């Protein structure tokens, strides 16, 4: 080995420049599947699309996986406002992708510091009414 110290320095520089963002896939997936309706910040679209920060979101946490995968067809009451716009299904998302979207919404957009596991999503998906 010519200069072992130089290898250590290179490794340390490489590690320090890595982006360690645990919600990166969730952010990307949210951008592709959710953002055009719920907006980049989760604020929704006027009276057409509800915001994520809402009583509905908090009261239906046990159904989030089903809502993401199968969408919504019925009218829903969110923060005392009725929303009738259908939410499309995202049937091709894997269970782990749904986990990552929910964790991104909870921790980054809503700053709620909740953590959804793969086990949580699997259990929810087994009980969907669709």
- Considering only CA atoms, give the Rg of the chain: 19
| pLDDT classification of 107: cutoffs 50, 70, 90 | very high
What's the mean pLDDT in 112-117?
Answer: 92
Rounded to whole angstroms, the Cα distance separating 62 from 59 reads: 8
Entry pTM: 0.82
**pLDDT 10s digits, 12-60:** 554 444 445 679 999 999 999 999 999 999 999 999 999 999 999 999 9
Output DSSP code: residue 77. Answer: E
Give me the count of residues in the chain.
Answer: 130
User: What pLDDT score does 12 carry?
Assistant: 52
38 within 8 A of 88, measured Cβ to Cβ: no
User: What pLDDT score does 36 carry?
Assistant: 96
Tokens, residue 60:
């239906």
pLDDT reading at 91 higher than 60? yes
């Amino acid at each position: 080995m010519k200069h072992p110290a130089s290898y250590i320095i290179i490794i340390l520089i490489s590690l320090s420049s890595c982006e360690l963002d645990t919600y990166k896939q969730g952010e990307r997936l949210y951008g592709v599947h959710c953002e055009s309706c719920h907006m980049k910040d989760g604020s929704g679209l006027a009276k057409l699309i509800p915001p994520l920060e809402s009583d509905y979101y908090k009261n239906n946490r046990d159904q989030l996986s089903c809502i993401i995968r199968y969408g919504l067809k019925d009218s829903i009451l969110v923060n005392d406002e009725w929303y009738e716009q259908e939410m499309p299904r995202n049937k091709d998302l894997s269970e782990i992708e749904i986990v990552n979207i929910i964790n991104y919404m909870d921790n980054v957009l809503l700053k709620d510091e909740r953590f959804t596991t793969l086990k949580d999503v699997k259990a929810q998906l087994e009980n969907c009414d669709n």
